[in-house]
């Protein structure tokens, strides 16, 4: 009923133009259902959805309502918001620039100053710019690594960190009391805010800070060749400056350099997708490259490929690349006396257990959070404000994102590509390929194998299926998967660790996530995606010997699907 009501409201509104109404009339029933069955929501990384007409879509109306709510939020909670202003940036996607200008106009109408860049810039630079300019907040228009039909809307607080649930709750309350997205209005301030186009000062300072994180900057780079692609996204200019000013020999994938919203030079802009590496590997073979690094379209995630010991090209997943980089950084800092005695490494509950083992080896603490880099950024700020606590040394997620130096408060692809390059060069000069370095790491800490799977559930029916699936796992989690009984459960929705005999608190924020501990030590984590209509399954296994393929995690996943009737 709600779907039909929303559909009719759009179809008969005088605020919806005739061309858009024609598109609505030609939608299939499945398209109508998916576009109108709910309002587009704020998830783990802001508001993200398919572009187009509808309440569950990214369009000028849904973006306008979110921006009006954000403006009201800032005025309510920040007395000097109008003077401090908001920084807005965007990636290469369809409507990204238009949404940026729309947001700036709305803030200016409220009397709030805005800062925008002259063109696209990466997400971590937006986070940095909020901090550098001491702004009241920020917006990044991006759908990150999603397919081309998506766009999104990430909001940042005054610390340069994405909103944590407590702040999102305040914003959602304001959203709920506003009229619907077609009817929302607002008064225009007597004195409109100024819209300032940022100059190269922000770029220069950001690049300078990134270059300064290098540990072994004098390594011989003359024979080392790097292939780089920004996947048509926002990191190209900064990344190329960092490479060249740091002395690296870099070969960009020319067909993927332009900020093309259709991603015409790649089959996927997602570093988690093997298809993203087709063109970079092709170029690496032509030039006999040693390392491949790529950023996703908004420049916060990094994928890594390399020439292995057999002269063939392969890739690392986010858990592997993060663990290798962490071990390199910690070992080199320790050698130079730069590793903090009270250091801490941050990761998430879905990240491999290998990270904690490495951190412990170097005398560092580990703190884990729910999925979303906002929790890591928020904890950095918390310790900074109280003036005591552990010193940040590294933060990462399994989803190909990490932060080395906290001048930004989000995962930073430019920082990552610089340090992945230094790490790979360091091993290259020792005659060690990255697959050999990974084997050496596993020989020290164990053969950790972590694989992520996803199942999509589109439309209102898919939403109901996801909710029913998660409800089952919360209520009846002690199942058997591939002949292995579940012996303990971390239920993040109720906030408890459960065995068949007792319960104890988890001591972490609540979320719709279930972690199943199997009798052989393997773990299975299940959570709905916060950015797409899908459920993600994270399977972690520790082997005594090097696994040759994904047979074990594949078997666990297939068994889980059978058990849950998926």
% of the chain surpassing 90 pLDDT: 93
Write down the pLDDT at residue 45: 66
Structure tokens at 554: 């594949």
Within a domain: residue 312? yes
pLDDT tens, position by position, 30-74: 999 999 999 998 876 689 999 999 999 999 999 999 999 999 999
Taking the CA atoms of the chain, what radius of gyration do you get in angstroms? 24
Q: What mean pLDDT do residues 345-371 have?
A: 97
Distance from C-alpha of 132 to C-alpha of 268, rounded to nearest angstrom: 33
pLDDT tens, position by position, 453-497: 999 998 888 889 999 999 999 999 999 999 999 999 999 999 999
> Considering 405, 430, 445, which residue would you say is the last residue of a domain?
445
> Considering 445, 478, 508, which residue would you say is the last residue of a domain?
445
For 37, the enclosing helix (H) or strand (E) is none
Together in a domain, 305 and 415: yes
Please determine, for residue 21, whether its predicted confidence score (pLDDT) is greater than 70.
yes
> Considering 175, 198, 221, which residue would you say is the last residue of a domain?
198
pLDDT tens, position by position, 107-150: 999 999 999 999 999 999 999 999 999 999 999 999 999 999 99
Number of domains in the chain: 3
Within a domain: residue 29? no
**Predicted TM-score (pTM) of this structure:** 0.95
Q: What mean pLDDT do residues 355-368 have?
A: 98
pLDDT tens, position by position, 217-263: 999 999 999 999 999 999 999 999 999 999 999 999 999 999 999 99
Distance from C-alpha of 457 to C-alpha of 463, rounded to nearest angstrom: 6
Together in a domain, 227 and 375: yes
Together in a domain, 355 and 459: no
For 185, the enclosing helix (H) or strand (E) is none
Within a domain: residue 341? yes
Write down the pLDDT at residue 44: 62
Residues 6+ apart with CB under 8 A from 477: 486, 489, 491, 498, 514, 516
Write down the pLDDT at residue 524: 97
Residue 501: phi, psi to the nearest 5?
-110, -25
Together in a domain, 397 and 427: yes
Write down the pLDDT at residue 263: 97
Together in a domain, 376 and 289: yes
Within a domain: residue 226? yes
Residue 28: count of CB within 10 angstroms of its CB: 8
Together in a domain, 228 and 315: yes
What CATH number does the domain containing 534 carry? 3.30.310.50
Together in a domain, 219 and 180: no
What CATH number does the domain containing 130 carry? 3.40.120.10
CB 355 within 8 A of CB 345: yes
Looking at the annotation, which residues are catalytic?
Answer: 144
Together in a domain, 423 and 468: no
% of the chain surpassing 70 pLDDT: 99
Comparing CA positions, the residue from 355, 403, 349 lying closest to residue 381 is 403
Within a domain: residue 112? yes
Write down the pLDDT at residue 531: 72
Within a domain: residue 337? yes
Distance from C-alpha of 508 to C-alpha of 348, rounded to nearest angstrom: 11
pLDDT tens, position by position, 371-426: 999 999 999 999 999 998 899 999 999 999 999 999 999 999 999 999 999 999 99
Together in a domain, 276 and 249: yes
Mean pLDDT of all residues belonging to the chain: 96
Within a domain: residue 16? no
Q: Give buried/exposed letters for 75-92 (b at 16+ CB in 10 A, else e).
A: beebeebbebbbbbbbbb
Within a domain: residue 327? yes
Together in a domain, 292 and 315: yes
Together in a domain, 218 and 138: no
pLDDT tens, position by position, 501-553: 999 999 998 999 999 999 999 999 999 987 778 999 999 999 989 998 999 99
Measuring CA to CA, how many Å separate 34 from each of 3, 6, 313, 566?
Answer: 9, 11, 40, 21
Together in a domain, 162 and 186: yes
Q: In what order do the strands lie in the sheet with 343-348?
A: 365-369, 343-348, 391-397, 401-403
Q: Give buried/exposed letters for 240-251 (b at 16+ CB in 10 A, else e).
A: bbbbeebebebb
Regarding predicted confidence, which is higher, 312 or 461?
A: 312
Range of 358's domain?
Answer: 206-445
Q: What mean pLDDT do residues 288-304 have?
A: 98
Please determine, for residue 294, whether its predicted confidence score (pLDDT) is greater than 80.
yes
Structure tokens at 361: 């080896």
């Amino acid at each position: 009923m709600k779907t039909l009501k929303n559909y009719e409201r759009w179809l008969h509104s005088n605020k919806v133009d005739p061309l858009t109404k024609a598109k609505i009339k030609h939608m299939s029933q499945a398209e109508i259902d998916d576009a109108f069955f709910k309002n587009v929501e704020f998830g783990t990384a802001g508001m993200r959805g398919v572009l187009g007409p509808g309440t569950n879509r990214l369009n000028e109306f849904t973006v306008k309502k979110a921006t009006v709510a954000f403006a009201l939020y800032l005025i309510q909670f920040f007395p000097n918001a109008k003077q401090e202003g908001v920084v807005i940036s965007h990636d290469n996607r369809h409507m990204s620039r238009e949404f940026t200008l729309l947001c700036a106009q709305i803030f200016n109408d409220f009397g709030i100053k805005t800062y925008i860049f002259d063109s696209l810039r990466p997400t971590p630079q937006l986070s940095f710019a909020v901090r550098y300019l001491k702004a009241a907040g920020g917006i990044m228009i991006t759908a990150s690594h999603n397919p081309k039909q998506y766009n999104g809307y990430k909001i940042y607080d005054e610390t340069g960190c994405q909103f944590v649930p407590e702040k999102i709750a305040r914003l959602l309350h304001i959203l709920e009391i506003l009229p619907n997205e077609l009817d929302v209005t607002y008064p225009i301030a007597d004195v409109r805010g100024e819209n300032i186009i940022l100059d190269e000062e922000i770029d220069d300072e950001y690049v300078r800070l990134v270059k300064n994180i290098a540990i072994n900057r004098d390594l011989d780079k003359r024979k080392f060749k790097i292939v780089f692609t920004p996947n048509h996204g926002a990191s190209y200019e900064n990344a190329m400056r960092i490479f060249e000013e740091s002395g690296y020999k870099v070969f960009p994938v020319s067909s993927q350099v332009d900020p093309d919203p259709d991603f015409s030079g790649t089959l996927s802009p997602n570093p988690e997708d093997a298809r993203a590496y087709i063109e970079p590997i092709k170029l690496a073979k032509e030039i006999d490259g040693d390392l491949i690094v790529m950023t996703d379209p908004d420049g916060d995630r990094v994928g890594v490929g390399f020439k292995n010991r057999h002269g063939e090209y392969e890739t690392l997943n986010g858990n592997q690349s993060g663990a290798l980089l962490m071990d390199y950084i910690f070992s080199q800092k320790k050698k130079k006396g730069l590793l903090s005695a009270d250091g801490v490494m941050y990761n998430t509950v879905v990240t491999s257990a290998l990270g904690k083992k490495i951190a412990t080896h170097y005398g560092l603490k580990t703190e884990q959070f729910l999925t979303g880099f906002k929790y890591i950024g928020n904890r950095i700020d918390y310790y900074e404000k109280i003036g005591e606590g552990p010193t940040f040394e590294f933060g990462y997620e399994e989803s190909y994102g990490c932060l080395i130096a906290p001048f930004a408060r989000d995962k930073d692809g430019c920082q990552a590509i610089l340090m992945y390059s230094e790490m790979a060069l360091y091993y290259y000069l020792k005659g060690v390929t990255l697959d050999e370095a990974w084997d050496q790491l596993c020989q020290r800490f164990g053969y950790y194998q972590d694989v992520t799977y996803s199942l999509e559930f589109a439309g209102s029916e898919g939403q109901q299926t996801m909710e029913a699936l998660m409800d089952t796992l919360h209520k009846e989690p002690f199942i058997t998967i591939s002949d292995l009984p579940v012996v303990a459960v971390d239920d993040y929705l109720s906030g408890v660790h459960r065995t068949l005999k007792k319960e104890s608190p988890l001591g972490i924020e609540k979320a719709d996530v279930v972690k199943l501990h199997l009798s052989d030590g393997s773990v299975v984590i299940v959570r709905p995606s916060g950015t797409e209509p899908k459920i993600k399954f994270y399977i972690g296994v520790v082997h005594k010997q090097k696994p040759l393929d994904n047979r074990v995690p594949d078997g666990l996943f297939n068994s889980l699907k059978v058990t849950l009737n998926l």
